[in-house]
Amino acid sequence: MDEEVARSFGNFKFQDCTSNQAIAYGELSKPKHAELLETSIADAMNFKKFETIPDIRMGQLVIEIAMVRLALKIAPHISGRVHIQTNPYYSYSTEKTVLNALRIERIFRFLSPEFDTSRICIKIPSTWEGMMACRTLELKGIATLATTLFAPCQAVLAAEVGCTYIAPYVNQLKVHFQPGFIDPAKLLEFCASIQRYYKAKGVSKTKVLPASLTSTEEIFALKGVDHITISPGLLEQLAKPGSVPSTPSLIDKTGSAVDPLADFTYFKTSYLNDPATYRLEFTRDRKGASEEKLTQAINIFCDMQDKLELLVHARAHLWKDDE
């Protein structure tokens, strides 16, 4: 969400820009965005005059507006979509997630009536409830991304509900928050297997967009994937002469030895009407590791949401009743 990054690479125009509560906190805590935060506080006051917004504190609304403002700042420098993640505290509520997404779309219209809202993509954690929210939103014509995805059953369900993207995490989220931690079970091959599975099953809408990469080697191991999330630091490494590693692509791996359905052999091809089976298979996946990684990610994003609210409170002295 740093427009300076998009500007710094000259003639390259990036396809999409991601965000989440951690990225938003990293940007909004910078002194250069103090004015944007102050403006977002005023925007929230005005927005509430015209919109009925149940069950949301003013601080939460300010954060959503500030995230949209960051997206609007970077939108002219990219093609494709701007991605906004819903409040992680709603991860286990379909209703609240849907309302959050619809509110985000209204905020875009409120702040920039001329903005093409088809460029909005709503990121939602890949809980069962989150997936059902994706289904509702996609039926309303709003693009969604099922994020923090770690298991085959999640990938199957995401395609069933019609997600525009999925974001399987190569590394569990804490690699970015716990110094020295290295994920002992990276999901590079899993990302490749999802794309092979989607192709074998004729899934054309849902694109595989791996995230949480930590090295250029991981990027090139996924060369040929539908889409990919690359952080500013890794973009800078890739821009240096001689930076291309010799890592072979897992996506391009072909031949009779490659079974596109290998990772999905023991999973159903449909979960939409069988939540009990889905929940059990997710709980059992990789002996509980996938569920643990999802829970960890939601906790980290909730922690970052808390930090954002503290940041807003430090600047706001304009409301009392609803805080």
Mean pLDDT across 130-141 = 98
Domain 16-315 has CATH 3.30.420.40: no
Q: Which of 42, 95, 33 is nearest to 65 (CA)?
A: 42
Predicted pLDDT at 321 = 46
Q: What is the pLDDT of residues 221-242, one digit of tens each?
A: 999 999 999 999 999 999 888 8
Hey, how many other C-beta atoms are within 10 angstroms of the C-beta on 149?
Answer: 33
pLDDT at 239: 87
- The burial class, CB within 10 Å (0-12 / 13-18 / 19+), for 255 is exposed
Label residue 97 by pLDDT band (50, 70, 90): very high
Residue with the bigger pLDDT between 4 and 141: it is 141
Write down the pTM of the prediction. 0.93
pLDDT at position 7, please?
84
Angstrom CA distances, 176 to 29, 88, 211, 213, stand at: 17, 18, 12, 10
14-17 β-sheet, strand order: 14-17, 78-85, 120-125, 143-149, 165-168, 207-208
Q: Which residue has the higher pLDDT, 239 or 308?
A: 308
pLDDT tens digits, 15-44:
999 999 999 999 999 999 999 999 999 999
What would you report as the CA-atom Rg of the chain, rounded to the nearest whole angstrom?
20
Q: Would you please indicate which residues are annotated as catalytic (active-site) residues? A: 123
User: Which residues have a Cβ under 8 Å from the Cβ of 141 and sit 6 or more positions away?
Assistant: none
Burial category of 32 from C-beta neighbours within 10 Å (exposed 0-12, middle 13-18, buried 19 and up): exposed
Q: How confident is the model at residue 256 (pLDDT cuts 50, 70, 90)?
A: very low
CA 99/CA 318 separation, integer angstroms: 25
- 260 pLDDT tier (thresholds 50, 70, 90): low
The pLDDT mean for the chain works out to 92
